[in-house]
């Protein structure tokens, strides 16, 4: 459904962020994109909806070439690509409801959105989504009154009300505690399954990625160095992606995930351990 061909991005500073990346993602597949900071993960997903303009190469969503679209056609195409951000990127002075309805901006005219007179169907959908992510009580709160986990739930609802075919998710858990991180990852993956959505999730936390996704792509210096199932992330692969480090603890932790949390906490160095199994 999503095809990326020979995607190359060179920033004006001369940095080559993406070096002819190729990938294809079928409908309904959730992919984790891992790699060290500066590997080009953020650039890659922003090149898909052209928040960052790619230098060359093609991005094809459902047979439509996104890299060639003019600005109006791009707006139409962006409606079907929901995006979830690291620091939530909610408009802080707007209410939860306004933030969610902002996901409908591509579908309604300026005056309707300016007067906050959204169609009833949009409002119904917003209520449904807020129920689904567990924020039915928060509708008229301002976004900056919410906790990190709640904000990210609003961010998820905003992306989903776009009725997307593809989710672009940029470090959804980087600002969250370990327990909330898992809840958010679980929620995103569940929703993708319910709606048969494809998703690219940039994520730093390898163990967390392994728990939830079917496929992992490893990026290093703008090149794909691993593409396969999460179980294939052996120490040599992680070394290839991130560089030399003791990876044993990270991998063991995932293996023992369902067995005993005390043991896991003892061996693991990764941050995720604190939380345990039950949540």
Footprint of another protein on this chain (CB under 8 A)? 49, 51, 75-79, 81, 83, 85-87, 89-94, 98, 102-106, 110, 113-114, 155, 158, 162, 168
Q: Which is nearer to another protein, 145 or 190 (CB)?
A: 145
Per the CB < 8 A criterion, the answer to whether 161 and 127 are in contact is no
Q: Which is nearer to another protein, 95 or 180 (CB)?
A: 95
> What pairing do the DSSP bridges indicate for beta strands 198-202 and 30-34?
parallel
Per the CB < 8 A criterion, the answer to whether 224 and 23 are in contact is yes
Q: CB 262 → another protein: shortest distance, Å?
A: 29
Q: Which is nearer to another protein, 115 or 262 (CB)?
A: 115
Q: Which is nearer to another protein, 159 or 206 (CB)?
A: 159
Beta carbons within 8 Å of 165's beta carbon, 6+ residues apart? 1, 27, 61, 62, 80, 81, 197, 198
Cα separation of 206 and 35, whole Å? 9
Q: CB 50 → another protein: shortest distance, Å?
A: 9
* Element containing residue 156 per DSSP (H, E): helix 148-160
Q: CB 145 → another protein: shortest distance, Å?
A: 11
Structure tokens at 140: 């008229």
Q: CB 108 → another protein: shortest distance, Å?
A: 8
Q: CB 190 → another protein: shortest distance, Å?
A: 22
Which residues sit opposite 226 in a β-bridge? 218
Q: Which is nearer to another protein, 74 or 249 (CB)?
A: 74
Q: CB 235 → another protein: shortest distance, Å?
A: 33
Q: Which is nearer to another protein, 46 or 253 (CB)?
A: 46
Q: What angle do CA 132, 215, 252 make, to 5 degrees?
A: 95
Phi-psi region of 168 (alpha: psi -120 to 50; beta: other; left: phi over 0): beta
């Amino acid at each position: 459904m999503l095809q990326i061909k020979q995607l190359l991005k060179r920033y004006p500073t001369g940095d080559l962020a993406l070096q002819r990346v190729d990938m294809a993602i079928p409908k309904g597949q959730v992919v984790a994109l891992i790699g060290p900071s500066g590997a080009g993960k953020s650039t890659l997903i922003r090149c898909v909806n052209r928040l960052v303009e790619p230098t060359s190469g093609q991005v094809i969503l459902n047979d439509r070439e996104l890299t060639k679209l003019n600005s109006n056609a791009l707006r139409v195409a962006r409606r079907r690509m929901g995006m979830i951000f690291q620091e939530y990127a909610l408009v802080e002075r707007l209410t939860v409801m306004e933030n969610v309805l902002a996901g409908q901006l591509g579908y309604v005219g300026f005056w309707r959105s300016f007067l906050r007179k959204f169609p009833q169907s949009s409002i119904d959908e917003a209520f449904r989504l807020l129920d689904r992510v567990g924020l039915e009580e928060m509708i008229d709160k301002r976004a900056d009154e919410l906790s990190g986990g709640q904000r990210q739930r609003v961010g998820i609802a905003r992306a989903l009300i776009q009725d997307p075919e593809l989710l672009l998710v940029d470090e959804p858990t980087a600002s969250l505690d370990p327990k909330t991180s898992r809840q958010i990852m679980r929620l995103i993956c569940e929703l993708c399954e319910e709606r048969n959505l494809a998703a690219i999730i940039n994520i730093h936390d390898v163990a967390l990625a392994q728990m939830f996704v079917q496929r992992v792509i490893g990026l290093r210096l703008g090149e794909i160095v691993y593409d396969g199932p999460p179980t294939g992330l052996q120490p040599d692969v992680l070394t290839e992606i991130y560089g030399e480090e003791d990876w044993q603890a990270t991998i063991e932790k995932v293996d023992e995930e369902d067995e005993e949390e005390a043991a896991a906490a003892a061996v693991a160095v990764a941050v995720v351990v604190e939380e345990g199994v039950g949540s």
